[in-house]
């Protein structure tokens, strides 16, 4: 092609597709790898003792990890010449670290979010005399004084965070509380107190929490992949996924070739048959799963049928953890029912590309159907079958909704179902492991494609050599 005569039109026409696939295909793929292999999270170190500086680190928890609350400790530190004290909450928590091990240790309350289950409603005056004020401010009018150890009822919290500058020494948001108390002469007074002048019973906090901060970290990691591989359901998912491929594909291809030959034999109502055979092309895996659920569920059609024949006297429970083989059979049937049409269409296209002379020659020489199939049709169909095989295997690794519709996805699991479970907010809510599963499925698909193409090539070489 001469550069002078280069026509830019086709490139302009391709540009939108190219950009779109870059944005929504190539970029998410990079993202998937980043999610699966890169820890981009905040890690909270847990301490052996409730102290920041010198305590050893006993473990690390990722942001978002749910933790169990084991113990609470309040450490008071005197500040500003002993006039004010800081109360620091330390929580002893336990949770599962990124490696999947349970670790426990101490963390500051600010780093772990724990909901206050119920806020204490009582307190006592801590020391000296507390001045009750008319409003939540240090310059508000003093309306009464409460001596040490007076019990007060807490009515309202004000965290508007008024800062007080005691000679510029303290810059601290103050919490004001509206309290009511009984004075020594039996009178009930109401007013505002600064929180530090009260000793408040620790509010009860719930027994679980969530890590909400930590130090940021970005690093390459195999943790998510390890976690995926170590997960108890990983082996199940891999085995079931491969088992489904092995069980479904052979039957599917034989059936598809039969369907294609039927369509090629020019029956009457040929276009009706074509329509019927193609219907499953437009049926989703979820709908197909539900269709076969009607057959295999406990009060479903299979049991109804068997019972009407008198073979059973009460419904047999096909879908249960005790009969995984029946779940597999149901899924296999549903997938064969749904996805054979796709193979059929590819095979018919392939058949149409075979010159009629070849087929007729076979007939003229009196070859039986099997002989024609074996020596003429199948060898010529090879490229089509090859493509269909790659396509169907890769699609079979994405089987998801059929499994969930038939079995609920708990008793029996497949790879895509695990990716969803790890992703699901109601379940594990771990996008990284979910991305690891995505990457695993991609890799598996790629491996399958390469494997097929190599096998076929070496076979061709063998044939060429022999």
Strand duo 151-164 + 172-182: pairing: antiparallel
CB of 133 to another protein, least distance (A): 44
Q: Could you say which of 111, 194, 223, 285 contacts another protein (CB under 8 A)?
A: 285
Q: Could you say which of 178, 297, 328, 413 contacts another protein (CB under 8 A)?
A: 297
**Rounded to a whole number, what is the largest CA-CA distance in the chain?**
123
Nearer to another protein, 44 or 342 (CB): 342
Q: Verify binding: residue 401, another protein, rule CB under 8 A.
A: yes
CB of 227 to another protein, least distance (A): 15
212-241 residues near another protein, rule: CB under 8 A: none
Q: Verify binding: residue 358, another protein, rule CB under 8 A.
A: no
Single out the segment in contact with another protein by CB under 8 A; choices: 101-109, 168-176, 349-357, 455-463: 349-357
d(CA 296, CA 289): 10
Nearer to another protein, 177 or 344 (CB): 344
Q: Verify binding: residue 276, another protein, rule CB under 8 A.
A: yes
Q: Distances from the Cα of 243 to the Cαs of 336, 414, 453, in angstroms?
A: 14, 10, 21
Residue 405 class from Cβ within 10 Å (0-12 exposed, 13-18 middle, 19+ buried)?
buried
SS3 content of the chain, % helix, strand, coil (to 5): 50, 25, 25
120-149 residues near another protein, rule: CB under 8 A: none
Q: Verify binding: residue 265, another protein, rule CB under 8 A.
A: yes
Q: Could you say which of 69, 108, 274, 329 contacts another protein (CB under 8 A)?
A: 274
Q: Verify binding: residue 259, another protein, rule CB under 8 A.
A: yes
Q: Could you say which of 69, 278, 367, 456 contacts another protein (CB under 8 A)?
A: 278
Q: Verify binding: residue 404, another protein, rule CB under 8 A.
A: yes
35-94 residues near another protein, rule: CB under 8 A: 35
3-class secondary structure, 1: coil
3-class secondary structure, 74: strand
Spatial neighbors of 391 by CB under 8 A, at least 6 apart, are: 342, 346
Single out the segment in contact with another protein by CB under 8 A; choices: 49-57, 166-174, 176-184, 256-264: 256-264
Residue 184 class from Cβ within 10 Å (0-12 exposed, 13-18 middle, 19+ buried)?
exposed
d(CA 150, CA 147): 6
Q: What angle do CA 26, 30, 36 make, to 5 degrees?
A: 145
Strand duo 188-194 + 198-200: pairing: unpaired
Q: Verify binding: residue 310, another protein, rule CB under 8 A.
A: no
**Other beta carbons within 10 Å of 194:** 19
Nearer to another protein, 291 or 376 (CB): 291
Single out the segment in contact with another protein by CB under 8 A; choices: 122-130, 172-180, 437-445, 455-463: 437-445
Q: Verify binding: residue 209, another protein, rule CB under 8 A.
A: no
Q: Locate all alpha helices (DSSP H) within 297-377, ordered by sequence.
A: 301-308, 324-353, 356-364, 369-372
Q: Could you say which of 299, 364, 365, 465 contacts another protein (CB under 8 A)?
A: 299
Q: Verify binding: residue 445, another protein, rule CB under 8 A.
A: yes
The count of residues interacting with another protein (CB under 8 A) is 100
CB of 383 to another protein, least distance (A): 5
Residue 386 has which token pair?
A: 């090859």
Nearer to another protein, 132 or 351 (CB): 351
5-34 residues near another protein, rule: CB under 8 A: 7, 9-14, 16-18, 20-21, 24-25, 27-29, 31-32, 34
Nearer to another protein, 118 or 271 (CB): 271
Going 28 to 30 to 33 to 36, the CA torsion angle's sign is negative
Cα-Cα-Cα-Cα dihedral of 400, 229, 243, 444, to 10°? Answer: 80
Q: Verify binding: residue 304, another protein, rule CB under 8 A.
A: yes
CB of 230 to another protein, least distance (A): 20
Gyration radius from the chain CA atoms: 36
Q: Could you say which of 390, 412, 414, 418 contacts another protein (CB under 8 A)?
A: 390
Cα-Cα-Cα-Cα dihedral of 244, 418, 288, 330, to 10°? Answer: 40
Q: Verify binding: residue 423, another protein, rule CB under 8 A.
A: yes
């Amino acid at each position: 092609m001469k550069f002078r005569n280069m026509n830019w039109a086709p490139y302009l026409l391709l540009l939108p597709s190219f950009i779109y696939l870059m944005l929504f295909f190539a970029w998410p793929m990079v993202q998937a790898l980043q999610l699966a292999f890169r820890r981009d999270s905040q890690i909270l170190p847990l301490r052996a003792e409730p102290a920041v500086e010198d305590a050893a680190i006993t473990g690390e928890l990722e942001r978002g990890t749910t933790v169990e609350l084991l113990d609470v400790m309040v450490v008071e530190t005197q500040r500003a010449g002993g006039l004010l004290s800081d109360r620091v909450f330390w929580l002893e928590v336990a949770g599962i670290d990124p490696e999947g091990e349970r670790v426990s240790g101490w963390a500051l309350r600010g780093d772990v979010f724990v909901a206050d289950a119920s806020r204490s409603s009582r307190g006592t005056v801590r020391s000296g005399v507390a001045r009750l004020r008319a409003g939540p401010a240090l310059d508000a009018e003093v309306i009464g004084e409460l001596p040490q150890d007076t019990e007060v009822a807490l009515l309202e919290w004000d965290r508007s965070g008024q800062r007080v500058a005691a000679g510029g020494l303290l810059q601290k948001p103050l919490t004001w509380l509206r309290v009511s108390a009984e004075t020594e002469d039996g009178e009930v007074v109401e007013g505002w107190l600064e929180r530090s002048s009260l000793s408040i019973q620790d509010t009860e906090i719930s027994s679980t929490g969530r890590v909400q901060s930590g130090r940021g970290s970005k690093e390459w990691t195999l943790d998510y992949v390890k976690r995926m591989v170590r997960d108890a359901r990983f082996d199940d998912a891999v085995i079931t996924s491969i088992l489904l491929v092995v069980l479904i594909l052979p039957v599917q291809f034989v059936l598809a070739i039969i369907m294609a030959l039927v369509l090629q034999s020019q029956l009457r109502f040929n276009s009706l048959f074509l329509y019927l055979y193609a219907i499953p092309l437009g049926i989703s895996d979820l709908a197909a799963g539900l269709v076969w659920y009607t057959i295999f569920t406990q009060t479903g059609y299979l049991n109804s049928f068997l019972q009407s024949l008198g073979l059973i006297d009460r419904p047999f429970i096909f879908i249960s953890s005790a009969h995984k083989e029946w779940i597999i059979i149901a899924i296999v049937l549903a997938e064969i029912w749904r996805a054979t049409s796709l193979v059929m269409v590819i095979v018919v296209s392939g058949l149409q590309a075979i010159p009629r002379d070849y087929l007729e020659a076979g007939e003229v020489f009196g070859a039986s159907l099997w002989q024609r199939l074996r020596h003429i049709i199948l060898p010529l169909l090879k490229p089509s079958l090859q493509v269909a095989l790659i396509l169907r295997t890769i699609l079979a690794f994405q089987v998801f909704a059929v499994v969930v519709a038939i079995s609920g996805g708990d008793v029996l699991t497949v790879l895509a179902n695990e990716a969803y479970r790890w992703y699901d907010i109601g379940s594990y809510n771990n996008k990284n492991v979910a991305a690891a599963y995505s990457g695993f499925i991609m890799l598996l698909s790629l491996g399958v494609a390469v494997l097929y193409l190599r096998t076929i090539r070496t076979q061709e070489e063998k044939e060429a050599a022999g």
